[in-house]
């Protein structure tokens, strides 16, 4: 109490910290976005269909789940179900209200997703943790069943699958690979910007307070019920739009079964590997989840060409992917984003200190 | 009336199978707080290993013993290379690690033992026998007896042996248990080994019923509602929960299925679990968590 405290050493923060703003950040991000737009005009169609579009859409889904799980602390295994709500709702809006412009249809699809999120998020008012995953698992099994069971949702197609209607906006045909890429990229940029503003505002801080300890947050006067449901609504809104894009901009034709539990797990992998509670983490994790299987299959195809059959190499991929997940969880439980932050700090000091 | 009873009994016996898988979860959850998603893969792995050995001409008992040894060795390897490195991480991280683990186990199982469906004959004729007015599957009865024997021996083990009592200490307060000299890693190895044994029993019974194939891993998804109803920390709860889920599921399939257009059983268990969560969040026999600021 007596001696004047020495100036505190600048604390290096180990966790990904959203409150830290890069000074050169806005510029770097703008450059990155511009680069992605420019990329659209130079690469081959294969890149759109196999890499860029799925990467962006899964990153968007990861972003949505990260808002819910990483920021508000509500674990969910219903991501696939909320994606399917977005896909089927958008399909029906495009089909039954063809006069609405495409972005409006997407937003309406997202709103239906938000509604589903709130309904299945209601138990979060009483339970949490693994008990809550049971509620979202109920969504995961019930909603795709619903869309598969009742023909109305798929407009009575015999297979129960839905196909992309013509994607047109302001007279431009978005059905080409480039058009679908630009549609996806623009949606991702807008929603990421919204999410960024959300998590750096009062709402995001409330969510993090609830995540860290909801009893304490309630004592501090944060309305718990409203914030939990809001996190479910907003997260499901983004996930539903990702689902609609997955159906129409990536696959073209889907049925409810393509939004199964594996999809939910993939998105959960994305945020765990990328980094919980960080926006960039969703993108890094998505790059990992989309690129690593492609990389593994290419490498194994070249290395062991003819030596092992396709089924075996698929098993090898599975083993390797699972082992990588475990490895990263052990090496860096805070995700690749934390790894990047650490690398950046090291590089900043590089010649002076290793 | 007898049709209703038959549906009910059939459902209850199917529920025994769910309970068997759920017990494996409870064991690991109690000892380490991990929701072990890889339990389903362990069931598949055990059943596949046993079937492969049998098809290679091994006798019943040697095949069983070798499979058991493999499962225990696997449990020790998991503790050494995965769990020990993850001590102190959040529940979700540990859960994701078991998810990654399940990929590895499934991949290994299919890499070495193939992905085709194997028939598993345990030498029990599945002739329905009459009990009063209703017909009961003999095989299901045997499964129920096996499950009962397993539960009784597990409860004896956990209530009266030194290891079992240490395990309950760990479940109650890991830090205090360690400070009085209980070795956490050793206990984890034992518990994962016992979970491997339970997986083997479940794999044999499920495999004999529907063939040894990849879909065995999906059993794991039915175990979660069972645990929610029974409570995550109670072996008895896993049994009761399994029976409740099995019975309500098969009744719903018969009486609700026509109304809603079939395959209700894919999600019905979860709706029952949800209803339970709203009334009794800790499950029937679970410990109620109390939070303080």
pLDDT in tens, A16-69: 544 444 455 666 677 777 777 777 677 777 777 778 889 999 999 999 999 998
Contacts of A276 in chain B (CB under 8 A): 92
Average pLDDT along chain B:
81
The proportion of chain A whose per-residue pLDDT surpasses 90, expressed as a percent, equals 22
Integer Cα distance of B196 and A290 in angstroms:
33
In a domain, B291, yes or no: no
Contacts of A131 in chain B (CB under 8 A): 228, 277, 281
Higher pLDDT, B283 or A292: A292
Residue whose token pair is 């070495």: B112
Mean pLDDT of B206-225: 78
In a domain, B170, yes or no: yes
Element (H, E) at B135: strand B134-137
In a domain, B129, yes or no: no
Q: Which long-range contacts (CB under 8 A, 24 or more apart) does A47-51 make?
A: A48/A177, A48/A178, A48/A180, A48/A181, A49/A177, A49/A250, A50/A294, A51/A290, A51/A291, A51/A294
pLDDT band at A5; cut points 50, 70, 90: very low
Q: How far is CA A298 from the centre of its chain?
A: 25
CB contact under 8 A, A137 and B92: no
Integer Cα distance of B205 and A104 in angstroms:
53
Per the CB < 8 A criterion, the answer to whether B232 and B286 are in contact is yes
pLDDT band at A349; cut points 50, 70, 90: confident
Measured over the CA atoms of residue A332, residue A337, residue A343 and residue A348, the dihedral's sign is negative
Res A12: pLDDT = 46
pLDDT band at B126; cut points 50, 70, 90: low
Work out the minimum CA distance from B28 to partner chain A, whole angstroms: 14
The proportion of chain B whose per-residue pLDDT surpasses 70, expressed as a percent, equals 90
Work out the minimum CA distance from A154 to partner chain B, whole angstroms: 16
Contacts of A137 in chain B (CB under 8 A): 221, 224, 270
Integer Cα distance of A59 and A53 in angstroms:
10
Integer Cα distance of A272 and A262 in angstroms:
15
Integer Cα distance of A126 and B291 in angstroms:
13
The proportion of chain B whose per-residue pLDDT surpasses 90, expressed as a percent, equals 3
Integer Cα distance of A73 and A96 in angstroms:
37
Top mean pLDDT of A57-71, B250-264, B273-287 is at A57-71
Res A9: pLDDT = 46
Burial letters A232-270, b for 16+ CB under 10 A, else e: bbbbbbbbbbbbbbbbbbbbeebbbebbebebbbbbbbb
Work out the minimum CA distance from A56 to partner chain B, whole angstroms: 23
In a domain, B293, yes or no: no
In CATH, what is the architecture of A43-348? Orthogonal Bundle (1.10)
Mean pLDDT of B92-113: 85
Nearest to A128 by CA among A53, A76, A60, A180: A76
* Residue among B100, B103, B266 minimizing CB distance to A145: B266
Quote ipTM for the complex. 0.81
Say if residue B290's pLDDT is above 60: no
Integer Cα distance of A241 and A308 in angstroms:
40
In a domain, B285, yes or no: no
Mean pLDDT of B78-89: 83
Mean pLDDT of B94-112: 87
CB contact under 8 A, A123 and B95: no
Contacts of B221 in chain A (CB under 8 A): 137, 261
Contacts of A323 in chain B (CB under 8 A): 100, 104
Nearest to A40 by CA among A240, A166, A189: A189
Q: At what angle are helices B235-255 and B265-279 packed, to 10 degrees?
A: 130
Q: How confident is the model over A94-112, as pLDDT tens digits? A: 888 877 888 888 899 999 9
Say if residue A238's pLDDT is above 90: yes
Give the nearest chain B residue to A320 (CA atoms).
B104
CB contact under 8 A, B224 and A318: no
Structural domain boundaries enclosing B65:
2-120+134-279
pLDDT band at B292; cut points 50, 70, 90: low
Q: Can you read off the two tokens belonging to residue A215?
A: 């009893």
Res A107: pLDDT = 92
Backbone angles phi, psi at A220, to 5 degrees: -75, 0
Higher pLDDT, B38 or A42: B38
Higher pLDDT, B231 or A185: A185
Integer Cα distance of A12 and A81 in angstroms:
39
Work out the minimum CA distance from B135 to partner chain A, whole angstroms: 32
Mean pLDDT of A210-238: 90
Average pLDDT along chain A:
81
Could you tell me if A42 lies within 8 Å of chain B, comparing CB atoms? Answer: no
Work out the minimum CA distance from B87 to partner chain A, whole angstroms: 10
Q: How far is CA A62 from the centre of its chain?
A: 2
Q: Round to the nearest angstrom and report the end-to-end CA distance of chain B.
A: 54
Could you tell me if B281 lies within 8 Å of chain A, comparing CB atoms? Answer: yes
CB contact under 8 A, B35 and A137: no
Res A7: pLDDT = 46
Asked which of A132-141, A238-247, A294-303, B140-149 is least confident by mean pLDDT, the reply is: A294-303
Instruction: Find which of A134, A260, A308, A336 to mutate to test the B interface (most B CBs within 10 Å of its CB).
Output: A134
Work out the minimum CA distance from B29 to partner chain A, whole angstroms: 11
Asked which of A64-78, A184-198, B145-159 is least confident by mean pLDDT, the reply is: B145-159
In a domain, B181, yes or no: yes
Contacts of A130 in chain B (CB under 8 A): 35, 91, 95, 224, 232
In a domain, B125, yes or no: no
Could you tell me if A131 lies within 8 Å of chain B, comparing CB atoms? Answer: yes
Per the CB < 8 A criterion, the answer to whether A275 and A329 are in contact is no
pLDDT band at B214; cut points 50, 70, 90: confident
Res A19: pLDDT = 44
Say if residue A271's pLDDT is above 50: yes
Integer Cα distance of A228 and A74 in angstroms:
8
Res A339: pLDDT = 84
Q: How confident is the model over A57-82, as pLDDT tens digits? A: 999 999 999 999 889 888 888 899 99
Give the nearest chain B residue to A140 (CA atoms).
B267
pLDDT band at A113; cut points 50, 70, 90: very high
Element (H, E) at A26: helix A25-39
Work out the minimum CA distance from A267 to partner chain B, whole angstroms: 12
Q: How many distinct structural domains can be found in chain B?
A: 1
Instruction: Find which of B267, B273, B283 to mutate to test the A interface (most A CBs within 10 Å of its CB).
Output: B267
Res A67: pLDDT = 92
Higher pLDDT, A306 or B116: B116
CB contact under 8 A, A134 and B115: no
Contacts of B260 in chain A (CB under 8 A): 149
Per the CB < 8 A criterion, the answer to whether A62 and A264 are in contact is no
In a domain, B290, yes or no: no
Contacts of A75 in chain B (CB under 8 A): 92
Res B204: pLDDT = 86
Mean pLDDT of B156-177: 83
């Amino acid at each position: 109490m007596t001696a004047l405290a020495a100036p505190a050493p600048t604390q290096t923060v180990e966790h990904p910290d959203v409150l830290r703003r890069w000074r050169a950040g806005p510029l770097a991000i703008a450059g990155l976005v511009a680069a992605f737009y420019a990329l659209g005009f130079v690469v081959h169609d294969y890149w759109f269909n196999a890499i860029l579009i799925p990467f962006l859409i899964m990153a968007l889904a990861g972003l949505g789940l990260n808002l819910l799980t990483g920021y508000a602390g509500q674990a969910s295994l219903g991501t696939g179900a909320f994606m399917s709500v977005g896909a089927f709702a958008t399909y029906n809006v495009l089909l039954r209200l063809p006069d609405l412009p495409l972005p409006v249809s997407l937003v309406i699809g997202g709103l239906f997703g938000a509604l589903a999120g709130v309904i299945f998020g209601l138990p979060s008012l009483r339970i949490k943790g693994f008990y809550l995953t049971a509620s979202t698992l109920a969504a995961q099994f019930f909603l795709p069943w619903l869309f598969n069971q009742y023909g109305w949702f798929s407009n009575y197609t015999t297979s129960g699958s839905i196909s992309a209607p013509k994607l047109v906006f302001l007279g431009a045909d978005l059905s080409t690979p480039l058009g679908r890429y630009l549609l996806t990229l623009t949606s991702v940029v807008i929603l990421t910007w919204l999410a960024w503003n959300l998590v750096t505002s009062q709402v995001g801080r409330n969510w993090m307070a609830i995540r860290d300890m909801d009893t304490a947050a309630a004592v501090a006067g944060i309305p718990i019920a409203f914030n939990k449901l809001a996190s479910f609504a907003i997260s499901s809104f983004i996930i539903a739009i990702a689902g609609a894009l997955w159906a129409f901009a990536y696959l073209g034709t889907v049925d409810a079964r393509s939004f199964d539990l594996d999809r939910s797990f993939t998105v959960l992998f994305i945020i765990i590997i990328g980094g919980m509670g960080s926006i960039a983490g969703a993108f890094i994790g998505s790059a990992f989840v989309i690129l690593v299987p492609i990389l593994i299959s290419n490498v194994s195809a070249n290395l062991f060409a003819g030596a092992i059959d396709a089924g075996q190499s698929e098993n090898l991929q599975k083993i390797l992917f699972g082992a990588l997940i475990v490895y990263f969880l052990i090496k860096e439980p805070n995700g690749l984003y934390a790894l990047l932050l650490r690398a950046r700090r090291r590089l900043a000091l590089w010649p002076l200190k290793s | 009336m007898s049709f209703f009873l038959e549906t009910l009994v059939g459902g209850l016996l199917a529920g025994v199978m769910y309970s068997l898988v759920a017990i494996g979860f409870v064991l690991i959850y109690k000892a380490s707080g991990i929701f072990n998603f890889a339990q389903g893969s362990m069931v598949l792995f055990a059943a596949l290993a046993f079937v492969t050995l049998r098809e290679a001409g091994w006798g019943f008992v040697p095949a069983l013993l070798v499979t058991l040894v493999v499962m225990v060795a696997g449990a020790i390897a998991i503790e050494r290379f995965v769990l020990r490195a993850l001590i102190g991480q959040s529940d979700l991280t540990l859960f994701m690690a078991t998810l990654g683990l399940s990929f590895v186990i499934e991949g290994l199982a299919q890499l070495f033992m193939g992905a085709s469906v194997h028939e598993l004959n345990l030498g029990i004729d599945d002739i329905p026998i009459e009990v009063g007015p209703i017909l009961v599957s003999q095989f299901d009865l045997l499964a129920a007896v096996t499950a009962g024997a397993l539960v009784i021996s597990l409860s004896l083990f956990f209530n009266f042996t030194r290891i079992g009592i240490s395990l309950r200490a760990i479940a109650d307060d890991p830090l205090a248990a360690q400070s009085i000299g209980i070795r956490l890693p050793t206990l984890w190895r034992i518990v994962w080994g016992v979970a491997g044994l339970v997986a083997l029993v479940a794999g044999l019974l499920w495999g004999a019923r529907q063939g040894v194939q990849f879909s065995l891993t999906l059993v794991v998804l039915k175990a979660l509602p069972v645990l929610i109803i029974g409570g995550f920390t109670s072996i008895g709860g896993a049994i009761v929960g399994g029976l409740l889920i099995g019975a309500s599921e098969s009744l719903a399939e018969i009486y609700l299925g026509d109304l809603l257009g079939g395959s209700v059983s894919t999600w019905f268990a979860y709706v029952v679990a949800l209803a339970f969560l709203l009334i009794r969040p800790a499950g029937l026999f679970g410990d109620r968590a109390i939070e303080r600021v």
